[in-house]
Amino acid sequence: MNRILITGALGQLGIEFIKYFTKSNIFVLATDIRECKNEIPCEFIQCDVLEKNKLNQLVKSYKIDTIFHLVAMLSAKAEKHPFKSWKLNIDSFQNIIEVCVDNEIKKVFWPSSIAVFGTDSKLGCVPQNPILNPSSIYGITKLAGEKLLEYSNKKFNIDIRSIRYPGIISMSTKPGGGTTDYVIEMMDSAINKSKYVCFLSKNTELPMMYIDDAVSSAIQLMRADKSKLSVKDSYNVAGFSITPEILKKQILKNGFKIDVEFKPDFRQEIANTWPKKIDDSKAKLDWGWSAQIGFEETVKKSLKF
């Protein structure tokens, strides 16, 4: 991991990976379909990840050796645009794999999601290898992606590694259209003293993770000894699990006033097929994973943002 290309670099995760790598003096070429309006501490090139030739050129001219492929249409947005999300999430991943094969790039990080599970997955606390029966189009693309990576690693002798992220909490970028976005939105409303209408019911329990743990889990996995990795598709990782009501109470505990109305919409249906808790014992055993930041600290850090 010396010269890294990040796709979807201006999104919630991308911005944080840029900060991490540049602080560690690792070369980063950030790419995104959007124009970069703020200053970022690395090279940036506007590029649609569906343009394979352009990606190929960039990889060659910048001598890239590792790709963090972060482009995806997230769950709630994808449900509104199922065909576009299939095309973006799947075709972009195929492009990255082809670019890797053409340029002999071995190392790739590609995030999967807790959307990959489904109602048959023992949602109370999902194990590493449950029955996977996602019903959202986003979850279906993540399951297809997991299978594509497993196939490609074997077929082309590459080393794509993956994590099934829970909802990621960070305040430095706007959330990208996911089913766990309510966490960031509610804290944002508390900071801005505005009323919040929550799109999930107050007792919907979902797994979450603070951004610092999301970044360090990926780095730890990418640096792990390959011989220790027993999971061939994507690793479960856990932070903590909360409901909207628990979040509201924690915001109040921190001295903020917040008026929340619970008005579930179509995203409730997606959340009902997602896990409450995650069993990440395989990640702990194989590469020493352990979340460092709990719920209370996450809320404190986020409200101070």
Ligand X SMILES: NC(=O)c1ccc[n+]([C@@H]2O[C@H](COP(=O)([O-])OP(=O)(O)OC[C@H]3O[C@@H](n4cnc5c(N)ncnc54)[C@H](O)[C@@H]3O)[C@@H](O)[C@H]2O)c1
Alpha-carbon span 103 to 150, nearest angstrom: 19
Residue with Cβ nearer ligand X (34 or 193): 34
Residue with Cβ nearer ligand X (1 or 45): 45
Binding site for ligand X (CB under 6 A): 7-8, 10-14, 32-34, 48-50, 70-72, 74, 88, 111, 113, 165, 167-168, 176, 178, 180
Residue with Cβ nearer ligand X (135 or 157): 135
Alpha-carbon span 213 to 224, nearest angstrom: 16
Residue with Cβ nearer ligand X (25 or 83): 83
* Minimal distance, residue 10 CB to ligand X, in Å: 4
Q: Is the distance from CB of 91 to CB of 141 less than 8 angstroms?
A: no
* Minimal distance, residue 34 CB to ligand X, in Å: 4
The CA R_g of the chain, rounded to the nearest whole Å, is 19
For helices 295-303 and 244-253, what crossing angle results, to 10°? 60
> Can 210 be counted among the known catalytic residues?
no
Alpha-carbon span 132 to 202, nearest angstrom: 26
Alpha-carbon span 151 to 149, nearest angstrom: 5
From the list 20, 62, 138, 165, the catalytic residue is 138
Query: CB count, 10 Å around CB of 155?
Result: 10
Query: By Cβ distance, which residue is nearest to ligand X?
Result: 11
* Minimal distance, residue 12 CB to ligand X, in Å: 4
Query: CB count, 10 Å around CB of 261?
Result: 8
Annotated active-site positions, please? 138
